[in-house]
Every structure is written in structure tokens, then in C-alpha cells.
């Protein structure tokens, strides 16, 4: 197993109603990551992504700005225990 980890992200700002989840799924698929994303009631987007450390670093860099219409103010990230996911899902 290459250097694989899972990361949990909370993204704040204008991140709902701007295709953030769909764009996140597209980005994760491009990078070969698995996991999921969902909107939270407090206006944040939550993401769990698993894969190679280098790809997760690229993913994090993308999350810092998100899709074109998003206005990301903050991304909180932490490493979490490994989870096995078949794909990257939008919840």
C-alpha cells in the first residue's frame, strides 16, 4: 500500500449553491480519491477523502478556492483513520 491516508475537511464561506459538491466529486475522481462530500446545516461543506498523500495535497490546494462561483473563507483539515470507499460520493 502506497502512502495512503484519509482526510476530513470542513469548508466555510459561500460554498453551498455553487456546485461545490459536484465539483469536489469531479476533482476527487480526477485525482483518484475515494470518500464523500455533503452540505451541513450550518452552511459548511464536509468532505472525507482517502488516497495517496500527494494527491490529497493537490486536493487540499483545490479546496482552498473551490469551483468558480465559490468563495472559500476557511478549510479545516485533519487526518482520520483509514476508511475503505468504493468511489467518491455526493451525499
pLDDT at position 2 is 64
pLDDT beyond 80 at 30: yes
Map out the domains of the chain with their CATH numbers: 4-90 (3.30.70.100)
Write out the catalytic residue numbers. 21, 39
User: Confidence class of residue 76 from pLDDT cuts 50, 70 and 90?
Assistant: very high
User: Confidence class of residue 60 from pLDDT cuts 50, 70 and 90?
Assistant: very high
pLDDT at position 90 is 97
Q: Which residues of 14-34 are buried (b: 16+ CB within 10 A; e: fewer)?
A: ebbebebbebbbebbeebebb
pLDDT beyond 70 at 9: yes
- Beta-carbon contacts of 57 under 8 Å, excluding residues fewer than 6 positions away, are none
User: Confidence class of residue 40 from pLDDT cuts 50, 70 and 90?
Assistant: very high
Read off the pLDDT of each residue in 24-31 and give the average, rounded to a whole number.
98
Amino acid at each position: 500500500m502506497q502512502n495512503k491516508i484519509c482526510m476530513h475537511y470542513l469548508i466555510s464561506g459561500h460554498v453551498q449553491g455553487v456546485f461545490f459538491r459536484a465539483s469536489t466529486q469531479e476533482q476527487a475522481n480526477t485525482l483518484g480519491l475515494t470518500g464523500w462530500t455533503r452540505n451541513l446545516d450550518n452552511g459548511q461543506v464536509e468532505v472525507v477523502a482517502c488516497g495517496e498523500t500527494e494527491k490529497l495535497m493537490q486536493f487540499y490546494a483545490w479546496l482552498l478556492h473551490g469551483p468558480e462561483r465559490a468563495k472559500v473563507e476557511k478549510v479545516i483539515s485533519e487526518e482520520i483513520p483509514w476508511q475503505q470507499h468504493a468511489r467518491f460520493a455526493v451525499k
